[in-house]
Amino acid sequence: MSQDRAKVRLYVDAPLGVAQSVPVNREQANYLFNVMRLATGDRVALFNGRDGEWLAEVVTHNKRGGILTCVAKSGPQCQPPDLWLLFAPIKKTRTDFIVEKAAEMGAARILPVQTRHTNAERIRQDRLQAHAIEAAEQCGGTYVPEVAELQQLARLLDDWPMDRQIMFCDESLVGAKAGLTAASGDKWAILIGPEGGFAEEETTRLREMDCVISVSLGPRILRADTAAVAALTLWQATLGDWR
Amino acid sequence: MSQDRAKVRLYVDAPLGVAQSVPVNREQANYLFNVMRLATGDRVALFNGRDGEWLAEVVTHNKRGGILTCVAKSGPQCQPPDLWLLFAPIKKTRTDFIVEKAAEMGAARILPVQTRHTNAERIRQDRLQAHAIEAAEQCGGTYVPEVAELQQLARLLDDWPMDRQIMFCDESLVGAKAGLTAASGDKWAILIGPEGGFAEEETTRLREMDCVISVSLGPRILRADTAAVAALTLWQATLGDWR
């Protein structure tokens, strides 16, 4: 069936523009033609993080790939606010969820960090990046946040760009008034702690940094994945693209 | 080891008070004495949703159960605001997550609802209730929200108590200004739609109800579990116990 609004959204690398041809790789071909059962002439919505959303038509396809052609621009390029999410990786499923939710909630970059109490020694960056892509396809966004490699929080703070504010979700403030009260600037990062919290030296260091604003997330202790969504909500509603 | 602050928190049915004996059942005994390896004299934090948090000591235990004795009250009873969460059940894992997150975020009741586009024909109420208990134990709360049996949204609205406002998270408002602007009253319910959204007749009916306030959750389409946490955050920060 041809349709005006595409049911399938796909993130691609290729440039998008009038009559532009877009090749799809084996994995994308499997999704489009096996899973979603698209046929020649069917339409797909494409985005690449730069050129907005385009309606494209299936020109040819087989098991190993296919060619789509851009038909018309269907939406503008929408960049998220300049917001990073720093979090300490936890169990696999919950780490996947944090990345998925950060993409849905409009984080621009996702930075897994190793803290004193983080168990994870390594992450599968490629798998997490794939989750971010899938979330962007699903949520109607035109941007995929980059997932960085795991790095030490202490080193990241050594080189921290001082014009970027940190919304520090400080578990020791559980029960304090929630919300972003003193807030300014348009470059931000949210920092979510590991299960078990930050080490005292980490908390002390963060509180002493001028760019850090400590924030409470209510009277109950939230799991890291809950805290990520809650913090992103507070930030987006107060300073971001929900306003 | 004896300790002043208990690492383990447990929800029980029994009344809690000075020198009160509290029996633990087989499942709780397995958790306390096998998983957490507590011994006679070790301390546990108990709550029952009525009497606050109490420190209790292990008096006797075996594989099938045990007896704890309350030592001292360690925290007040904190009731959540009078907030219900209505949501359409989705895939198993995500439904579990919604219940867990609703308990962490301080919902007072959790009501799974069947909408026109809900796939789920039934839920495992007992399993969902167990998730709510575990989340309350984990997040330091002293209250466990009741998980209701699955019911039809249409019927629930037929008998809706008109003094309870509904924060209706309306997907068709994606991109509108987010937030709770016109808000009053202290009885509330949040309504989150199914994947695929509400049917037009449902949306029309909701919008015509006086107690309904339609709310946008930002410019991207959120999955139901993300939407639940985001909506609970907005509500708690604006009207609830995060203020």
> What pLDDT tens digit does each residue of chain A (243 aa) get?
334 457 799 999 999 999 999 999 999 999 999 999 999 999 999 999 999 999 999 999 998 999 999 999 999 999 999 999 999 998 888 999 999 999 999 999 999 999 998 877 789 999 999 999 999 999 999 999 999 999 999 999 999 999 999 999 988 877 666 667 656 788 999 999 988 789 999 999 999 999 999 999 999 999 999 999 999 999 998 888 887
Maximum CA pair distance of chain A?
61
Residue B2 scores a pLDDT above 50 = no
**How sure is the predictor about B178, in pLDDT bands with cuts at 50, 70 and 90?**
low
Q: What is the mean pLDDT of residues B28-40?
A: 94
pLDDT of residue A182: 56
Q: What is the mean pLDDT of residues B168-189?
A: 77
B216/A242 CB distance under 8 A: yes
Residue B1 scores a pLDDT above 50 = no
In chain A, what residues touch B230 (CB-CB under 8 Å)?
A: 105, 229-230, 232-233
pLDDT of residue A243: 79
In chain A, what residues touch B242 (CB-CB under 8 Å)?
A: 177-179, 216-219
Domains B9-75 and B82-238 are alike in CATH topology: no
Nearest CB among B177, B223, B243 relative to A177 is that of B243
In chain B, what residues touch A139 (CB-CB under 8 Å)?
A: 220-223
pLDDT of residue B118: 86
Q: What is the 3-state secondary structure (H, E, C) of chain A?
A: CCCCCCCCEEECCCCCCCCCEEEECHHHHHHHHHHCCCCCCCEEEEECCCCCEEEEEEEEEECCEEEEEEEEEEECCCCCCEEEEEECCCCHHHHHHHHHHHHHCCCCEEEEEECCCCCCCCCCHHHHHHHHHHHHHHHCCCCCCEECCCEEHHHHHHCCCCCCEEEEECHHHCCCCECCCCCCCCEEEEEECCCCCCCHHHHHHHHHCCCEEEEECCCCCCCHHHHHHHHHHHHHHHCCCCC
Kindly identify which residue of chain B lies nearest to residue A176, measuring between CA atoms: B242
Tokens, residue B2: 């004896």
In chain B, what residues touch A230 (CB-CB under 8 Å)?
A: 105, 229-230, 232-233
Class of domain A82-238: alpha beta
> Of B221, B242, B243, which to mutate for an interface test with A (greatest number of A Cβ within 10 Å)?
B242
pLDDT of residue B40: 95
CATH architecture of A9-75: Beta Barrel (2.40)
Say if B222 is an interface residue toward chain A (CB within 8 Å): yes
pLDDT of residue A168: 95
CA distance B224 to chain A (A): 11
Which of the pair, A199 or B172, is modelled with greater confidence?
Answer: A199
In chain A, what residues touch B229 (CB-CB under 8 Å)?
A: 101, 226, 229-230, 233
pLDDT of residue A121: 79
pLDDT of residue B5: 59
Interface contacts (A, B; CB < 8 Å): 110
CA distance A16 to chain B (A): 21
Nearest CB among B97, B106, B216 relative to A218 is that of B106
pLDDT of residue B3: 40
pTM: 0.92
Say if B78 is an interface residue toward chain A (CB within 8 Å): yes
A140/B217 CB distance under 8 A: no
The domain limits of chain B are 9-75, 82-238
CA distance A85 to chain B (A): 16
Nearest to A224 by CA among B97, B106, B85: B97
DSSP string, B4-70: SS-S-EEE-SS---TT-EEEE-HHHHIIIIIIS---TT-EEEEE-SSS-EEEEEEEEEETTEEEEEE
Say if B209 is an interface residue toward chain A (CB within 8 Å): no
pLDDT of residue B242: 86
Q: Look up the ipTM and state it.
A: 0.91
pLDDT of residue B188: 96
**How sure is the predictor about B91, in pLDDT bands with cuts at 50, 70 and 90?**
confident
- Residue B202 and residue B184 in contact, taking contact as beta carbons nearer than 8 Å: no
Tens digit of pLDDT for each residue in B98-149?
A: 999 999 999 999 999 999 988 777 899 999 999 999 999 999 999 999 999 9
Strand order in the sheet with B9-11: B9-11, B43-47, B53-62, B65-75, B21-24
In chain B, what residues touch A106 (CB-CB under 8 Å)?
A: 218-220
Residue B33 Cα distances to A132, A194, B11, angstroms: 41, 26, 16
Nearest to B69 by CA among B37, B49, B50, B41: B41
Say if B49 is an interface residue toward chain A (CB within 8 Å): no
Compute the distance between CA of residue B243 and CA of residue B106 in angstroms, rounded to an integer.
13
